[in-house]
Structure 1
Amino acid sequence: MYDSIKRITITLSFALLGAGLFTVFHLPLPWLLGPMLSILVIAHWYAKWLYWPKQLRNTGLIIVGYVIGRSLTKEALLEISQHIWHMLFFTLFLVIICLLIAVLLAKTTGLHIKTAILGSIPGGMMQALTLAEETKGVNVGIVTLMQTIRLLCIIIGVPLLVIGNTSTLQNEKVEVFHLTWHFIIFMVSVVIAAWVANKYHLPTAYMLGPAIITVILQLIGLTSEPFPIGVSEIAQLLVGTNLGLILHRQKMPELKKMIGYSIISGVLIFIVSMLGALIFYRMSNFTLPTALLALAPGGLDQLGLVAHAIGADLAVVSGFQIFRLFFLLLIMPFIIRLIFRFFDKQKV
């Protein structure tokens, strides 16, 4: 018991060091990628010192699930309903293109098709990594590499494309946490939902269960509260640290071989999504920055901040990103598993 606590403390210390360095140098997703990379490096020499229980990783996923579910408010649902066909068309368009890129990548490099598909899923980096971790035969290291490069393409490329917009900056609304009975009900419910989802073997159960129950409770009238400052970052650290230890067990030569292919794949996905955004811009009455941010395959948090900063239509951007996020979270795992079963049968 004492030895386990000691190893967890050492692991946490190195994870915090990684998060701190990423924060100081303004690198993307510091609380997810920082701990992941620092633990990966330390584990190369001192793996026996490190230990991270699965329960900590699951706690992080439950927190993320609540945050995701909380974003789907009645207002967001109304925005989604007004553009549902556009959202469905462009989401399916991007997913199909990404699947084709994955198949081409697998045939070109000899990479396992499951790894190629999960590495090419547009948006939802944490969801893709969680699904990769739970799927047999997948190289989590390569999936992480591909998803990280895709995310960097979005974080760097999208702001450069929309930087010409000179809309007036607005003050960001900061939500304040209040401890209420509703919040306590939410917390108890998300834990139970995670347990039920895991019991029935739902994909990304510890994220999916809390997300679904949070949406349901909001729709029936309960008021959700934001987490206290720092909780979301802690959740990313809990998951990122676990990923770092998983990556340590992967074959590093394969990762080095895939860097070039991952860059090509990430750039292709970015170009296709931007072409789709131009088509959407021509079809709608939205501004070009709004269309670009709405269809960019990045995270809701990063793109939402960019949209707010340049004066794009935040409701439209958030609506599109939330729709794709829930499509990837609720529907895509089942589609992926059907595809995997098909390829497994082909091998037999």
Structure 2
Amino acid sequence: MPPLATLLIYALAGTCMGLLALRTGIPAAPLAGALLGAGIVSMSGRLDVAEWPAGTRTTIEIAIGVVIGTSLTRASLEQLQELWRPAILITLTLVMTGIAIGLWTSRLLGIDPMVALLGAAPGGISGMSLVGAEFGVGAAVAALHAVRLITVLLVLPLLVKLLVPLGLGES
């Protein structure tokens, strides 16, 4: 099958599942749905691995960066003036926990430390997969982050809905 046709099938699967996921009401549903749709097609082994035309991934990564960047507003900066201490605490805690879990997982389960460390690192699937790709372990890192992302997107909103009405977390 021509590479462009293969990409179109992946795009169609991702788009269909992304649109279908919109009906669920979960946060970031289109992202999770598209990830599942394209991932299922890819893991089926019935199609060749997607070969992106030169510059396409970079263009998409820039577009994702722009979408995220435009959500940062003057109000975000004002909030950060109040939230800088929790931001530093949360970041350091997540990084240190990711390192500890990555090393522990590598030793306990005998997997490549690079995969375990990048897979346990806090960060988005696209960013960490790109870092992993630079070290030659992008697919494995993407798989670990995909499981994490889908789990968090499905479970965390339910926990928030259950715990916040109970008054947990209030001072």
User: TM-score w.r.t. structure 1 length?
Assistant: 0.41
Q: Hey, what does 2:24 align to over in structure 1? A: none
Matching residue within 12, 18, 38 for 2:7: 12
Matches of 2:105 and 2:7, distance apart in 1 = 36
**How far 1:8 moved relative to its partner?**
3.6
**How far 1:60 moved relative to its partner?**
0.4
**How far 1:45 moved relative to its partner?**
4.2
Q: Hey, what does 2:26 align to over in structure 1? A: none
Amino acid at match of 1:47: D
| Unmatched 5+ stretches in structure 1 | 1-5, 167-277, 286-348
Q: Hey, what does 2:142 align to over in structure 1? A: 144
Matches of 1:152 and 1:106, distance apart in 2 = 22
Matches of 2:32 and 2:128, distance apart in 1 = 15
4+ residue stretches of structure 1 with deviation over 3 A?
Answer: none
**Aligned CA distance change for structure 1 residues 31 and 46 (closer, same or farther; 3 Å):** closer
| Unmatched 5+ stretches in structure 2 | 22-28
Whether the 8 Å contact between 2:20 and 2:33 is mirrored in structure 1 is: no
Q: Provide Cα deviations, 1:112-166, integer angstroms capped at 9, x if missing partner.
A: 1111111111242211112111223x2x332122112211231222122222457
Tell whether 2:49 aligns with 1:54: no
Q: Hey, what does 2:110 align to over in structure 1? A: 110
Q: Hey, what does 1:30 align to over in structure 2? A: 33
Q: Hey, what does 1:130 align to over in structure 2? A: 130
Whether the 8 Å contact between 1:14 and 1:39 is mirrored in structure 2 is: no
Amino acid at match of 2:48: A
**How far 1:46 moved relative to its partner?**
4.5
Whether the 8 Å contact between 1:103 and 1:113 is mirrored in structure 2 is: yes
Matches of 2:156 and 2:146, distance apart in 1 = 15
Amino acid at match of 2:38: P
SS of 2:122 mapped into structure 1 = coil
Matches of 1:11 and 1:52, distance apart in 2 = 10
Q: Provide Cα deviations, 1:170-189, integer angstroms capped at 9, x if missing partner.
A: xxxxxxxxxxxxxxxxxxxx
**How far 1:9 moved relative to its partner?**
2.8
Q: Compute the RMSD of aligned alpha carbons.
A: 2.6
Matches of 2:95 and 2:69, distance apart in 1 = 22
SS of 2:66 mapped into structure 1 = helix
SS of 2:55 mapped into structure 1 = helix
Q: Hey, what does 1:156 align to over in structure 2? A: 154
**How far 1:24 moved relative to its partner?**
5.7
**How far 1:40 moved relative to its partner?**
4.0
Q: Provide Cα deviations, 1:308-328, integer angstroms capped at 9, x if missing partner.
A: xxxxxxxxxxxxxxxxxxxxx
Q: Which has the larger radius of gyration?
A: 1
Amino acid at match of 1:78: E
User: TM-score w.r.t. structure 2 length?
Assistant: 0.78
**How far 1:82 moved relative to its partner?**
0.7
Amino-acid identity (%)? 26
Amino acid at match of 2:6: T
Whether the 8 Å contact between 1:11 and 1:39 is mirrored in structure 2 is: no
Whether the 8 Å contact between 2:7 and 2:51 is mirrored in structure 1 is: no
Alignment of 1:319-338 (within 5 A): none
